[in-house]
Amino acid sequence: QTGPCLLAACLPGEQHDIGLLLFAMVALDWNYRIILLGAATPLPEIAPVCQRTACAGIVLAGSYQSATEVLNTQLPQLMRAVDVPVFIGGRTLNHHAQVFQALGMIPLANDLQQAMQTINSTLQQRE
């Protein structure tokens, strides 16, 4: 892969990473490079990895209602710490769409091809 690098991780406490793995496979088909951090990733670890690897964007996934600490403290800290787009996908959008939008996160469709179109167009606008 020679395309942009995406860092992909599940939200803290999230053990269901199959959707994230499927996303990573589709992103590879779109010629993206993937750094896959996997399930239950502590959010404070994401910004340093993103900076060291020069990622073009961050993709977070969740399938349930996130903890208040994650929503009110950890996600805002992450958003302040990075200067790349942060995308959010999974069923967690059903519970917290307004919070994610207020933080400036970019929602992704459940359809992985549509999600990749969103990522692709967002990153192209930043070039």
Sequence-distant (6+) residues with CB within 8 A of 110 are 89, 90
pLDDT of residue 55: 97
pLDDT of residue 69: 84
What is the sign of the dihedral through the CA atoms of 12, 96, 118 and 25?
positive
Burial letters 82-101, b for 16+ CB under 10 A, else e: bebbbbbbbebbeebeebbe
Q: Which pLDDT tens digit goes with each residue over 52-99?
A: 999 999 999 998 877 888 889 999 999 999 999 999 999 999 989 999
Instruction: Please give the Cα distance from 7 to 35 (Å, whole number).
Output: 5
9-108, superfamily in CATH?
Cobalamin-binding domain (3.40.50.280)
Round to the nearest angstrom and report the end-to-end CA distance of the chain.
Answer: 19
- Residue 123 predicted with pLDDT over 90: yes
pLDDT of residue 119: 98
Percentage of residues in the chain having pLDDT higher than 70 = 100
Confidence class for position 40, pLDDT limits 50, 70, 90:
very high
- Residue 5 predicted with pLDDT over 80: yes
Domain regions of the chain by residue span = 9-108
The model's pTM: 0.95
Mean pLDDT computed over every residue of the chain: 94
- For residue 15, the SS3 value is coil
- Residue 47 predicted with pLDDT over 90: yes
Q: How far, rounded to the nearest angstrom, does the alpha carbon of residue 20 sit from its chain's CA centroid?
A: 9
